[in-house]
Amino acid sequence: MNNKLNNQNFNSALFLSYIITEGFDPNNYANILELFQSANASMSQFLTPYNQYLLSRQVNYDELDKLNIDGAYGYLDENGILVPKTIYNDARFLQSREKSMYKRHGYGCPTIENFDVIIGNGNSQYTRHAAHLPQDQYLGFCMDKDSANLENSLKLYEHLVELINSYRREEYILARESISSGNKELCLLKRK
């Protein structure tokens, strides 16, 4: 378990460094939305000096509090941010409203319009919902080259690039980099 956690932190730090070299500058954004990861595996843990928000089905509120990360158990859907009505979310937001500056539907959660940029290391079935959003996006992954999920993740992002380019005038591409010393494959959806 500890090696897995260390590998997740390494992947997140490596992916954050990669997106910074590819043009992401957290100083250019008032509010950053991160998708996909748990707090312990997030890039948000390295971005706490900035206004970041972690939205994921892997969120654990104790981890968020320990790392001083704002966020919620939820995901993107076709309408934007969804923090579903669950007992878990009720316990967080209905009993401790002061923990978040955002208020919506009784839960403390933002709307997608609150964010200037969306970042994410990983993928999910909800990745496609980012395609029509106007925010800058730095979505991709850092994965072991021998991972069984590598080909499926590449196909998902290739499809996402096609989908985003069908909605927008800007042309997006997939940038890829292999790091042989760490046996890592990095893939990033980015503007040309």
What is the model's pTM? 0.87
* Residue 50, beta-bridge partner list: none
Q: From first to last of the 192 residues of the chain, give the pLDDT tens digit.
A: 344 456 778 899 999 999 999 999 999 999 999 999 999 999 999 999 999 999 999 999 999 999 999 999 999 988 889 888 888 888 888 765 444 444 444 576 889 999 999 999 988 777 777 777 889 999 999 999 999 999 999 998 998 888 888 877 778 889 999 987 778 999 998 888
Tokens representing residue 127 in the block: 């990745």
110 within 8 A of 53, measured Cβ to Cβ: yes
190 three-class SS: strand
171 three-class SS: coil
Q: What is residue 168's DSSP assignment?
A: -
